[in-house]
Structure 1
Amino acid sequence: MLDFIQEYFFELLYAAFLLPQLILWCIIVPSQWKVERHHPTSNNEGVSVIVAARNEEHHLPTLLDHLVNQEYPEFEIIIINDRSSDQSSRIIREYQQKHNIIKEIVIDDNFGAISPKKFALSKGIPQAKYNQLLFTDADCVPASNQWIKLMTARLSTHPLTLGIGWYLPKHGRLVEKFTQFETLITALQYVSFSRIGINYMGVGRNIAYTKALYTSGNGFESHKNVLSGDDDLFINQVANKDNTATIIHPDSLTYSQPPSTWKKWYFQKLRHLSAGHHYKLSNKLLLGALSTSHLSVYFIYLLLLPLNVANLLYLSLLLIIRLVAITICTRKFTRMTNTKFSWWFIPIMDFMLIAYQIIIGASSVISKRNTWI
């Protein structure tokens, strides 16, 4: 037995690292697919839609047009205007004259807050008229006029609902495609894990929870000095298998444009991943194991190619099974949500994720970036 292990050490190591990936993409993700084929019944309670915006004059008209046309019996729109120096206030006032459901909250100073967005939200949430809170970003738009209804339908029984924010590439650049793919993989993972009771993140551009849950969790107080995390760190703090719901429905998505340059992408990811150091230990171990297994599978595969040509078919077959499983999950997601992604990009994008994990992972450790882009 010992001789066998010594002779096939790297092959066994390869299989060991590949196993978590196969469990994820062949078992966990597929087993959790549930599409809401019909719109969930609205609970008809009032909803406060909250948006923190800073210098968003180019995005606010589109967003507000979509929000005021939502089909929902009772809701308000709160725009937290965070120290904007552009025409944001003028635009908001113009919409207020036509729609009395719009409320503007002006932030003149962040009083030294390390996380400006959390500070803005912490000032806006207490002024919400309703207990049900629904959040998105100023550069996003809801996929349909049923967005409020779908995202809040389960809040009466599950005070936290995780939605999905989808990117729509504008120029067809590689960085846009990669951002779309990475976001897709992330969404598949956090939705699937949430449905088996493991909640570690969501996205602030499409999330709903109750004011009571926010208050009982003491808001963002425990991580107020962390730049990012108004979404994932809050979820880490308050979510459990009994109070959290997820939704995958074409009308429940929000759409936004991905970064158009690698520089913008880099700093966006640094900001997003800065919160990861503050996750629960169990979450960090889970995500670290998945990331390590992904990187190690490719590393060992490339290492073994020149050393063990005899097992090339076996090694390649296992890797292909994983890629096929990811492709199947991706295509099912896009069919369920009426979105598009070119499946033939997946092998390239999957390999690029390794460089992403190394570069961004290392950078997030040493970065001290403290600005809200």
Structure 2
Amino acid sequence: MPDISSFGEQSFLISIIYFLLLLPQWITWGIIAPLNLWKKRTLPSAKTVPVSIIIAAKNEEKNLTKLLNSLIRQDYPDSFEIIVINDRSTDETSLIIDQFVSKYDMIKKVDITVTDKSWSPKKYALSLGLKKAQYPNYLFIDADCWVESNQWIATMAPYFNQYEILIGIGLYKKIDKSWVSNITQFETFHTAIQYSSYSNIGINYMAVGRNFGYTKNIFDNANGYQKHKNVLSGDDDLLVNQMSNSSNTVTIIHNNALTYSLPEKDWKAWFRQKTRHVSASYHYKFSNKLLLGTLSASHISVYFIYLLMIPLDMANLLQLSVLLLIRTLLMIVCFKRFTAMVGEKIKWWHIPILDLMLIAYQILIGVSSVISKRKTWI
């Protein structure tokens, strides 16, 4: 006869191991994220500051008009300027910028015809744009984005009175009946909840360049992009890793402080985009790499072990199912709260499906980013 006590001990041990693997997920979705998402948010001082908005544009004729129109209609009582860097564009980008410059004094143009080969092209473009900035408070937005609220600057800029690094939320517009759009939106929500929640407890590891800000003082003290100028991406993340601390950085979640862009149209383009984004994380400081590595390993392993146990130990599957269900319910609650805060919607039953899809792509992206050596920016 089989040893029932031995079987029970084995089942208990598996449950304990599974619980420990799930623990980082439970802490994130059950403690750290709720502390961030349900906290009472106080608005900063109403005192305004002058702002320079920096945009690097390469072959953005299809997007730039929409972005600039959304910026010139900003209702902001203080001074602001819009600096657009035309980075070697071969389409009508330069002409579009010239047309706006001729109409609006606040818009300034910087032309780049040749890039320093020792630099990441985008960082080189941004560095030249920053040299032209008149004001010491910088806001960044990508050329393929736009803002829908005319209060974007008015919501973001007052935080410069208290903080030197502002981390915003950049969302992707959902395209109906597109699973590429669904996974893009899900991954964006997942990432934003995670980085904003850890920022709330003083751990800052990333930002999104499509909605980001910092002061001239921060940039000068970092010696600009010099420390990572040859790294293709990371004009946002790597500066945060280098200069951010618990007192000089804030993550802003507010309906009026959002930026938007369109998702990629197909899986190949999305995969290429995410591979480029992930490449910067290999240059994070060690503590941040350890945190993200732990969260990623926990995320992947709990599903992998669960699926592995289905044919091997059906008797223990119920216990593991309960543990995984608790984690999934916590995540669903946090997702629903976050999407309500930013005026978006997501079907609750999509969340576990998209979570599994995200894990598959995380594995593929991780492998691809190790072997990929991309040398251009988009």
TM bucket, shorter chain: over 0.9
Q: Which amino acid aligns with 1:328?
A: V
In the TM superposition, residue 34 of structure 1 has moved relative to its aligned partner by: 5.2
Rounded Cα–Cα distance in structure 1 between residues aligned with 2:361 and 2:311: 26
Of residues 93-102 and 50-59 in structure 1, the stretch that sits farther from structure 2 once superposed is 93-102
Q: Aligned to 1:78, which of 83, 100, 103?
A: 83
User: Relative to 1, partners in 2 of residues 1:342 and 1:113: Cα closer, same or farther, differing over 3 Å?
Assistant: farther
**Preserved CA contact (<8 Å) 2:59 2:89:** yes
Q: Aligned to 1:290, which of 290, 295, 312?
A: 295
User: Relative to 1, partners in 2 of residues 1:36 and 1:249: Cα closer, same or farther, differing over 3 Å?
Assistant: farther
Query: Normalising by structure 1, what TM-score?
Result: 0.96
Aligned to 1:12: 16
Of residues 280-289 and 84-93 in structure 1, the stretch that sits farther from structure 2 once superposed is 84-93
Question: Structure 1, residues 48-92: CA drift from partner, whole Å, max 9, x if none?
Answer: 011000011111111111100101121000001100111112111
- Whether 2:121 is the aligned partner of 1:116: answer yes
Rounded Cα–Cα distance in structure 2 between residues aligned with 1:241 and 1:143: 30
In the TM superposition, residue 332 of structure 1 has moved relative to its aligned partner by: 0.5
Rounded Cα–Cα distance in structure 1 between residues aligned with 2:231 and 2:9: 46
In the TM superposition, residue 179 of structure 1 has moved relative to its aligned partner by: 1.0
**Preserved CA contact (<8 Å) 1:43 1:154:** no
Aligned to 2:167: 162
Question: Matches of residues 145-160 of structure 1 in structure 2 within 5 Å?
Answer: 145-160=150-165
Question: Matches of residues 188-207 of structure 1 in structure 2 within 5 Å?
Answer: 188-207=193-212
Rounded Cα–Cα distance in structure 1 between residues aligned with 2:109 and 2:40: 34
Secondary structure at the counterpart of residue 251 of structure 1: helix
User: Relative to 1, partners in 2 of residues 1:157 and 1:295: Cα closer, same or farther, differing over 3 Å?
Assistant: same
Aligned to 2:348: 343
**Preserved CA contact (<8 Å) 2:45 2:161:** no
Rounded Cα–Cα distance in structure 2 between residues aligned with 1:2 and 1:33: 44
Rounded Cα–Cα distance in structure 1 between residues aligned with 2:222 and 2:371: 30
Gaps of 5+ in 1: none
Aligned to 1:242: 247
Aligned to 1:27: 31
In the TM superposition, residue 39 of structure 1 has moved relative to its aligned partner by: 5.9
**Preserved CA contact (<8 Å) 1:82 1:106:** yes
In the TM superposition, residue 343 of structure 1 has moved relative to its aligned partner by: 2.2
Secondary structure at the counterpart of residue 209 of structure 1: strand
Question: Structure 1, residues 234-290: CA drift from partner, whole Å, max 9, x if none?
Answer: 100100001001110111000101111111111111111111111011111100000
User: Relative to 1, partners in 2 of residues 1:359 and 1:278: Cα closer, same or farther, differing over 3 Å?
Assistant: same
Question: Structure 1, residues 175-211: CA drift from partner, whole Å, max 9, x if none?
Answer: 1110110111000010000010100001000001111
Aligned to 1:186: 191
Gaps of 5+ in 2: none
User: Relative to 1, partners in 2 of residues 1:281 and 1:39: Cα closer, same or farther, differing over 3 Å?
Assistant: closer
Query: Normalising by structure 2, what TM-score?
Result: 0.95
Rounded Cα–Cα distance in structure 1 between residues aligned with 2:11 and 2:82: 65
In the TM superposition, residue 335 of structure 1 has moved relative to its aligned partner by: 0.9
Rounded Cα–Cα distance in structure 2 between residues aligned with 1:2 and 1:51: 64
Of residues 68-77 and 170-179 in structure 1, the stretch that sits farther from structure 2 once superposed is 170-179
Percent of aligned pairs sharing the same letter = 53
Secondary structure at the counterpart of residue 74 of structure 2: coil
Rounded Cα–Cα distance in structure 2 between residues aligned with 1:352 and 1:3: 34
Rounded Cα–Cα distance in structure 2 between residues aligned with 1:31 and 1:308: 37
**Preserved CA contact (<8 Å) 2:49 2:160:** no
Question: Structure 1, residues 331-373: CA drift from partner, whole Å, max 9, x if none?
Answer: 1111111112222210111111211121000111111111112
**Preserved CA contact (<8 Å) 2:11 2:316:** no
In the TM superposition, residue 10 of structure 1 has moved relative to its aligned partner by: 2.6
Aligned to 2:65: 61
Question: Structure 1, residues 107-154: CA drift from partner, whole Å, max 9, x if none?
Answer: 111121441110000111121000110000011111301101111211
Q: Aligned to 2:316, which of 292, 311, 319?
A: 311
Of residues 275-284 and 86-95 in structure 1, the stretch that sits farther from structure 2 once superposed is 86-95
Rounded Cα–Cα distance in structure 2 between residues aligned with 1:162 and 1:132: 13
Q: Aligned to 1:332, which of 333, 337, 352?
A: 337
Question: Structure 1, residues 16-75: CA drift from partner, whole Å, max 9, x if none?
Answer: 101111111011100112577786444321100110000111111111111001011210
Rounded Cα–Cα distance in structure 2 between residues aligned with 1:72 and 1:364: 41
Aligned to 1:352: 357
Rounded Cα–Cα distance in structure 1 between residues aligned with 2:375 and 2:341: 38
Question: Structure 1, residues 273-315: CA drift from partner, whole Å, max 9, x if none?
Answer: 1111110111111000001011110111112223332333221
Secondary structure at the counterpart of residue 105 of structure 1: strand
